[in-house]
Amino acid sequence: MKTRYAIPIFLAAFVVQSAALRYIAIRDVSPNILLCLVIVFAFLYDEPFGACFGVIFGILWDIEFGLYVGVSAVSQMAAALAVMRIKRYLNHELLLPALAAGLAGTALNNVVYWGLYKLTGIPHTLLYILEMQPVLIAYNLLFVMLFHLILRRSVIRHRKDREYKGGFKEAKGFIVK
């Protein structure tokens, strides 16, 4: 995906995240669609779009809504880097591996986010954070599934596509010379 397409997608997600998602909150927990986009971009694309846009929009989010600048940026970058690391072992076409990457990215993001705020002296305990996780993970996995189903068509080429050029890019690491 080109940067000129990714920037409007992330900007729209930032606006929707900040303006509309508080109205669909369950138990004061709303989905983090910026994180979901970061995870899906890190999972589907070889370029580091997910990590870069996670840092940029994490800083914007912290400037607008956070207590400290950089906490969201670091936690989203950690999630993107973890997803980029584990995506080599997963099939990009299937939904279940994308959901597994979404679960891992969401869990890591939340642990890093809480850990950084704990270092700054926030009084929330781990138990308080853990009781919000089931709703947050369910919400985020729903949006990861939605974004994966929409964006995977632009990434994955099948042999029946007119644009398919052939080749075994994925199998390069398995060929022994």
d(CA 129, CA 126): 5
pLDDT value at residue 157: 56
pLDDT value at residue 168: 46
pLDDT value at residue 27: 79
What is the 3-state composition of the chain as percent helix, strand, coil, each rounded to the nearest 5? 70, 0, 25
Collect all residues with Cβ–Cβ distance below 8 Å to 83 and sequence separation of at least 6: 39, 42, 43, 50, 101, 104, 105
pLDDT value at residue 148: 93
- What is the residue-level pLDDT of the chain in tens, covering all 177 positions? 677 888 999 999 999 998 888 788 887 888 999 999 999 999 998 888 788 998 999 999 999 988 899 999 999 999 999 999 999 898 888 899 999 999 999 999 999 999 998 998 888 788 888 888 999 999 999 999 999 999 887 765 555 555 555 544 544 444 444
Structure tokens at 159: 């042999």
pLDDT value at residue 25: 83
Structure tokens at 107: 């869990």
75-86 pLDDT, tens digit per residue, is 999 999 999 999
Structure tokens at 58: 């994490």
pLDDT value at residue 170: 46
pLDDT value at residue 6: 87
What are the DSSP calls for 104-143, one per residue?
Answer: HHHHHHHHHHHHHHHHTT----HHHHHTTHHHHHHHHHHH
pLDDT value at residue 172: 44
pTM comes to 0.83
Q: Locate tokens 């599934």: which residue?
A: 145
Residue 90 per-residue DSSP state: S
> Amino acid identity of 82?
A
CB 107 within 8 A of CB 137: yes
| Residue 96, H or E segment | helix 95-119
| Residue 38, H or E segment | helix 33-44
